[in-house]
A and B are shown apart, each in its own frame.
Chain A
Amino acid sequence: QVQLVQSGSELKKPGASVKVSCKASGYTFTTYGINWVRLAPGQGLAWMGWINTNTGNPTYAQGFTERFVFSLDTSVSTAYLQISSLKAEDTAVYFCARKVLVRGKDVFDIWGQGTMVTVSS
C-alpha cells in the first residue's frame, strides 16, 4: 500500500546535526512532492517547506531557511530532512507528507508516522 515510513526517534546534543529520512513505497516517488511539517511541544502544525521529487528543487518556509536542508535519494525513494546546529527549540516531531493535486488543489494525503527529535544536553 501507499505509505511513507520515517526513521526513528533521535536524541541529540545542542550544536549537533540530525538527518531524518522518509521512505516512500506503493507509488512512483518522483510523481508527487514531499512536504515537511513540524509539531513542536504545545504548538500547532508548522509547514517547513517542500521538495520537488522530480527536479530536487526545495522550497523553504521563513524560519526554516538557515539550518534546514531537504534532499532526496530517488534511487531508494527517500526524502531527507537535515537540521544542523541543533537548538533546544528544535525539539519537535517532524512529519513528511506527500502532496498530490486534486481538482487543481494540492493536499497532503499521505503522511509519515513522524520522527521525534529531542535536543538536550
Chain B
Amino acid sequence: DIQMTQSPSSLSASVGDRVTITCRASQTISNFLNWYQQKPGKAPKLLIYAASSLQSGVPSRFGGSGSGTDFTLTISSLQPEDFATYYCQQSYSTPRTFGQGTKLEIK
C-alpha cells in the first residue's frame, strides 16, 4: 500500500496569511494526487485533483503543485472559511489512501 504522510499535522495561522501544507507519498504516484477540505460535521470537499488542477467552484487562492512523491497545497491568503482539516489522497493505486490530515486553526 502507498503511505501518504502530511506535514504539519496541525497549523495555526491568521487571516491573510499564506499557508503551505505538504504531502509525501511512500512511492512515486506521478500526479495522481487529490486534496480535500473537511469542516467539522461536514462531508469532505474536493479542492484540487491531478496535483494541480482546481476543482470547479473552488476559489483561486487554493493551489496545488508537485509530482512523483512530493506535493504541496498552498492557500495564498487565508480567509475565515478556510479553517478546516485538509487531506491529500492518492489515486495511483488501490487501496486509495489518504494522508492523516492537517488541521488548520486560527491563531
Q: Give the secondary structure class of B's interface.
A: loop
Q: Are A47 and B53 in contact (CB under 8 A)?
A: no
With a cutoff of 8 Å between Cβ atoms, the chain A residues found around residue B46 in the complex are 107-109
- A10, chain B: closest CB distance, angstroms: 17
Q: Is B100 an interface residue (CB 8 A)?
A: yes
- Segment at the interface with A among B18-26, B67-75, B76-84, B91-99: B91-99
Interface hits, A89-120 → B, CB 8 Å: 95, 97, 102-103, 105-109, 111-114
Count of inter-chain pairs, beta carbons less than 8 A: 63
Q: How large is the interface on A (under 10, 10 to 19, 20 to 34, 35 or more residues)?
A: 20 to 34
With a cutoff of 8 Å between Cβ atoms, the chain B residues found around residue A59 in the complex are 94
The tally of residues in B whose CB lies under 8 Å from a CB in A reads 27
B34 closest partner in A (C-beta): A107
B92 closest partner in A (C-beta): A105
- B82, chain A: closest CB distance, angstroms: 18
- B31, chain A: closest CB distance, angstroms: 8
20 new A-B contacts at CB < 8 Å, known A44-B98, A106-B91, A111-B45: A44-B101, A45-B89, A45-B101, A46-B98, A49-B95, A61-B95, A97-B43, A102-B49, A102-B50, A103-B50, A103-B53, A105-B31, A105-B34, A107-B55, A108-B34, A108-B36, A108-B44, A108-B46, A112-B43, A114-B42
